[in-house]
Structure 1
Amino acid sequence: MTAGVILAGLGLAAVGFAGRYALRQLPNVTKTVNEAMKNLPKFDMENMANSKYYKGGFDPKMNRREAALILGISPSASKQKVKDAFKKVMAVNHPDRGGSPYIASKINEAKDFLEKHSH
């Protein structure tokens, strides 16, 4: 019984000393993290605008160009290509898998538009 109390006391003392050491090292860690953050590349909106992603929001009314951009296909794609692209894009963006319901509705709208207006 006495040995258990002594071991518990020694364990608490060890945790206390470890905590004290960690708190004393904290300023050094913070300084190191700040220096590392300075060396990271800057987030540049200009480069983001020139990336492969489309800049801007959705058009007020769906059109062939926007529908093709949403599905990632050519505006003159066949119905089969539209169907295949729809399945691929919807599999990634479906609300049941964590996607946005709004984005899913735009994907559906794009598919419907291209199927209705394709040759």
Structure 2
Amino acid sequence: MASTMIAIGLTIAAAGCAGRYAFQAMKKMEPQVKQALQSLPKSAFSGYYRGGFEPKMTKRKAALILGVTPTANKGKIPEAHKRIMLLNHPDKGGSPYIAAKINEAKDLLEGQAKK
């Protein structure tokens, strides 16, 4: 019984020392990680649209949200909507606000799409 308690105590002490060492190593690496991220080319992140939402959605903004052209036909809009919603649905950890904007974009484009 006593040997088990000693083994548990040594294990906890070893885990604490390892955690402290890992934490200190991460602190030393932080400036290097920041420098590495800043040295990445800006094009590495250009695949994502940067910008907020305007109060009234435009056709261009709706097309950017769904990843289609502003003149997309009615067949491409539901496909794009489904693809984006699978990634951003609130039931799967997505934002309800973003999901609402995706639905708004779909409704706007479907109302103006060519048949």
Gapped runs of 5+ residues in structure 1?
1-7
Of 95, 98, 105, 2:100 maps to 105
Matches within 5 A, 1:1-119: 8-21=1-14, 23=16, 28-42=21-35, 43-44=37-38, 47=42, 51-119=46-114
Same amino acid, percent of matched pairs: 42
Amino acid at match of 2:25: T
Aligned alpha-carbon RMSD (Å): 2.9
Q: 1:72 to 1:12 in 2, by over 3 A?
A: same
Question: What TM-score does the superposition give when structure 2 sets the normalisation length?
Answer: 0.75
1:71–1:85 CA contact under 8 A, matched in 2: yes
Structure 2 gaps, min length 5: none
Bigger radius of gyration among the two:
1
Query: The residue matched to 2:33 in structure 1 has which SS?
Result: coil
Q: TM-score, normalised by structure 1?
A: 0.72
What secondary structure is seen at the aligned counterpart in 1 of 2:75? helix
